């Protein structure tokens, strides 16, 4: 794809794909937050916390971005020396769905400071435009009230409740299903129908 690599910034945070030079910062982020993230995340293989794993993963993230399969982004502090979070747009799909799934995590030391909201306010409009998305889904554990409040602030609407939805920290967990849709979505491919407020037309 000809999509330029994202580098989204509000002057204090930068959201972008990682490079090999960022691997030490990525490892510090995940290692420091291993216990804090465990209750909300699938279990990770031991080599997840190794440089070798992230050398492979950084290259794979770039390849998947270029193929419009996913966008695995990291949140950096102002000087871009430290990783403070990540944002993943996964399972990107074009016609007829034009959607993806959002996942995110933030360093525990930055919880409650509005950092993830600011990062997503940069990343969500970019993702909608870059991949011509109509829908971004985001699902959270029922007791993850911090995530529920964040998604509500960003305009996500609750759409359902899925039992035993994901294997989280070794246990099947229910999830609340939410999504954000783009009401002004327009097709870029002449073979796809145009859609306005749920009523299709050609």
* Bond from prior residue into 76 cis (ω within 30 degrees of 0): no
Q: Are 147 and 120 in contact (CB under 8 A)?
A: no
Percent of the chain with pLDDT over 70: 92
- Token readout for 50 is 């190794």
- How do residues 123-155 score in pLDDT, each as one tens digit? 999 999 999 999 999 999 999 999 999 999 999
Q: What is the pLDDT of residue 202?
A: 37
pLDDT tens track for 17-65: 999 999 999 999 999 999 999 999 999 998 999 999 999 999 999 999 9
- Integer Cα distance of 188 and 143 in angstroms: 39
> H or E segment at 157?
strand 157-168
Q: How many CA atoms lie within 13 A of 177 on its CB side?
A: 10
Full-prediction pTM beyond 0.85? Answer: yes
Helix (H) or strand (E) holding 86: strand 83-93
Q: pLDDT (tens digit, 9 = 90+) per residue, 107-128?
A: 999 999 999 999 999 999 999 9
């Amino acid at each position: 794809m000809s999509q330029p690599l994202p580098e989204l910034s509000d002057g204090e945070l930068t959201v972008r794909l990682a490079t090999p030079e960022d691997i030490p910062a990525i490892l510090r982020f995940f290692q420091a937050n291993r216990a804090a993230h465990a209750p909300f995340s699938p279990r990770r293989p031991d080599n997840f916390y190794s440089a070798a794993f992230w050398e492979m993963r950084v290259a794979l993230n770039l390849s998947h971005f270029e193929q419009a399969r996913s966008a695995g982004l990291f949140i950096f502090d102002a000087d871009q020396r430290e990783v403070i979070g990540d944002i993943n747009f996964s399972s990107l799909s074009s016609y007829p769905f034009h959607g993806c799934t959002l996942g995110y995590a933030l360093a525990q030391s930055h919880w409650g400071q509005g950092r993830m909201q600011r990062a997503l306010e940069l990343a969500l409009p970019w993702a909608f435009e870059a991949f011509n998305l109509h829908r971004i889904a985001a699902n959270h554990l029922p007791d993850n009230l911090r995530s529920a409040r964040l998604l509500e602030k960003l305009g996500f609407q609750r759409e359902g409740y899925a039992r035993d939805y994901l294997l989280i920290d070794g246990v099947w967990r229910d999830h609340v299903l939410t999504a954000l849709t783009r009401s002004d979505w327009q097709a870029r491919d002449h073979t796809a129908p145009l859609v306005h407020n749920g009523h299709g037309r050609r």
